[in-house]
Amino acid sequence: MSHFSELMNHNRVTRTRQRKAANTIMITLTGLVTALALVPLFWIIGYVVIRGGKSINLDFFIHLPTPMGVAGGGVLSAIEGTLVVMLLAAIFAIPPGVLAAFYAARYPNTPLGVALRFSTDVLSGIPSIVVGLFGYAVIVVPMKHYSGLAGGAALAVLMLPTIIRTTEEMLKLVPHTLREASLGLGAPEWKTSLSVVFPAAINGILTGFLLALARATGETAPLLMTSLGNERFDIGQIIRSGIQSHLSVFQIIWKIINQPVDSLPLALWKYAQQPYPERVNLAWAVALVLMLFVLIVNITARVWIQNRTQRMKG
Amino acid sequence: MKMEVADSVFQIAMVGETPAKVEVKNLAVYYGRFRALNEIDLTVHEKRITAIIGPSGCGKSTLLRSFNRMNDLTPGCRMEGEIHLDGENILLPSVDVVSVRQRVGMVFQRPNPFPKSIFDNVAYGPRLYGIHHKADLEGIVETSLKASALWNEVKDKLNQSGLSISGGQQQRLCIARALAVEPEVILMDEPASALDPISTLKIEELMQDLKKKYTIVIVTHNMQQAARVSDYTAMMMIDDARAGHLIEFDATNTIFTRPKDKRTEDYVTGRFG
């Protein structure tokens, strides 16, 4: 054996030992850091479940808040208010968001397409409190009162960039060959977009909606300046009195959305800063409900989408 | 190879000449300022299979996609010259692209069924043209699937996704989808290049069957395939300006046995390309 290969052999043995040691150290290190990153997550979830779980019972979901010092009561107003505001936000944000995404995916290099991409990037970076202020100036001030409508509009502005970008990405993932197959049969562009491209991308698009909705559900700042909060908000009561005074369906709906409404994050924020232990406990419970709300929306969506995908693939 | 050529000679002897279905006259295609195709003159005979062969990048697909104006979809693409379908120039701006594409169907390189049921895949075209009665659609779907030799394999699972069947079956589903709108010409862009040999054979047999009713133009990289299935062969090449042009067009047996152009001979005998 030559001197060179002897040296090489020697080196190989020590090198291997060094490499193995480095490997062990790095795996331990990255594993530890990963575990560390999970600590706050489980800490938050665990803490909220323990502190909030104590105050949760059926009353909590079906009663309005009681006046301070009166035992019992729930957060029905906040749950209903959140549902109303989220529904409005979805109605305001989804149709224009999807249409804009279609345009951006089809004509990415036109001036309008470039402008759209740039402005969604800018929009997604705007602090939510600024969006709230915008809703205040544009809707609350002219209407002269706070309303669920204004809250829904503010959250819609927050959701818009997420919806546009995820929808656009999903539309771009649809293979070009599918479009060609449809156009090759003589289908016009709009028909191809509507009945081939959109259905092929629908799962990803729905995921985008739900992510945007879940994020917006937890927003507090914009709602402070738009839907204000309203512990007396009770949809059942509005409907009953509306029927009694012979209002039409539209008038009743208008009444629901045209007044200040409560919402879970607002209730949480309000209760948490009050000096009464039972109110603080209520805040923990609200936090738990909010968390569960987002979690349930996410899980049902994922399961539903998975089933759809499997049915598509056969 | 010799066997196959002999078969092809036999085919031509059996069939004889038919009238022109598509006539290409002095066609040039540009992508922006780049000229992709130059001075193409070609006659596609009715109810015959015409193969377009040539090295990669010589514009075979571009030529094929001119026949149903699919090139219109490529931004910056411009066509000059004439393409006559039954004597009518389909490159005129006044021509309705939708009706051209109904008459000239297309099958793509990779099977591309829609993520819909097998039934809806085939019914997609007829529905575009306003056929919505269930019984009508069922009849069309069955006829089309039978014509593409897929009916027996899928008749019990028409509601299953078009993506759930094998690649070869998917390609025949795409053929059925094209047949459902009763085209006159079918363009096939390397229809078997993504398939295994058995599926390829099925597609080739199907083509022989289809040519009784339809005019077929096929782009292929596979010389044996061109020799096996086609009646006429067009040989394309890139010129010095990198534009594709036609160097020879003749009955397939002539192209494969007595080509006039040295480059065709080199190409079909595998000496280059």
Give residue B269's pLDDT: 85
* pLDDT interval class at B4 (50, 70, 90): low
The whole-angstrom separation of Cα A129 and Cα A208 is 23
Record the tokens describing residue A54, joined without a space. Answer: 């104590």
The whole-angstrom separation of Cα A59 and Cα A74 is 6
**Searching chain A, which residue's CA lies closest to the CA of residue B123?**
A185
**For B84-122, what is each residue's pLDDT tens digit?**
999 899 999 899 888 899 999 999 999 999 989 999 999
pLDDT surpassing 70 at residue B6: no
Q: Is the separation of the CB atoms in B76 and B32 below 8 Å?
A: yes
Give residue A54's pLDDT: 86
Domains of chain A, residue spans: 1-53, 58-313
Question: What are the chain B neighbours of A178 within 8 Å (beta carbons)?
Answer: 112, 114-115
The whole-angstrom separation of Cα A263 and Cα B270 is 75
CATH number of A58-313: 1.10.3720.10
> Which residues lie below 8 Å from residue A9, measured CB to CB, with a gap of 6+?
A1
CATH fold for domain B2-268:
Rossmann fold (3.40.50)
Domains of chain B, residue spans: 2-268
Q: Is the separation of the CB atoms in A120 and A97 below 8 Å?
A: no
Question: Rounded mean pLDDT of chain B?
Answer: 89
- Measured over all CA atoms, what is the biggest interatomic distance in chain A, rounded to whole angstroms? 105
**Interface residue of B114, B118, B187 to substitute, partner A, most A CBs within 10 Å:** B114
* pLDDT interval class at B10 (50, 70, 90): low
Predicted ipTM of the assembly:
0.84
* pLDDT interval class at B273 (50, 70, 90): low
**Searching chain B, which residue's CA lies closest to the CA of residue A199?**
B115
Interaxial angle between packed helices A198-217 and A148-173, expressed in degrees from 0 to 180 and rounded to the nearest 10:
140
Residue with the larger pLDDT of the pair B3 and A208? A208
The rounded percent of chain B whose pLDDT value lies above 90 is 64
Mean pLDDT of B242-246: 87
The whole-angstrom separation of Cα A189 and Cα A181 is 12
The whole-angstrom separation of Cα B143 and Cα B181 is 11
Contact: B112, A181; criterion CB under 8 Å: yes
Contact: B98, A186; criterion CB under 8 Å: yes
Give residue A100's pLDDT: 94
Of B115, B174, B181, the CB nearest to A312: B115
Q: Is the separation of the CB atoms in A285 and A74 below 8 Å?
A: no
In 3D, which of B85, B96, B99 has the Cα closest to residue B215?
B85
Please identify every stretch of chain A with a pLDDT value under 50, giving residue numbers as ranges.
Answer: 314
Question: Torsions phi, psi of B93, nearest 5?
Answer: -60, -25
Give residue A314's pLDDT: 47
Question: What are the chain A neighbours of B181 within 8 Å (beta carbons)?
Answer: 185-186
Give residue B208's pLDDT: 92
State the nearest Cα–Cα gap between B35 and chain A, in angstroms: 23
The whole-angstrom separation of Cα A19 and Cα A17 is 5
Give residue A138's pLDDT: 94
Q: For chain B, which residues lie within 8 Å of any Cβ of chain A, measuring from their own Cβ?
A: 68, 70, 73, 97-102, 105-106, 108, 110, 112-116, 124-125, 128-129, 160-161, 163-165, 174, 177-178, 181
**For B114-143, what is each residue's pLDDT tens digit?**
989 999 999 999 999 999 999 999 999 999
**Searching chain B, which residue's CA lies closest to the CA of residue A178?**
B112
pTM: 0.78
pLDDT surpassing 90 at residue B216: yes
Q: Is the separation of the CB atoms in B157 and B78 below 8 Å?
A: no
**For B148-198, what is each residue's pLDDT tens digit?**
989 999 999 999 999 999 999 999 999 999 999 999 999 999 998 888 898
Mean pLDDT of B205-215: 92
The rounded percent of chain B whose pLDDT value lies above 70 is 93
In 3D, which of A147, A118, A165 has the Cα closest to residue A261?
A147
pLDDT surpassing 50 at residue B1: no
> Which residues lie below 8 Å from residue A133, measured CB to CB, with a gap of 6+?
A225
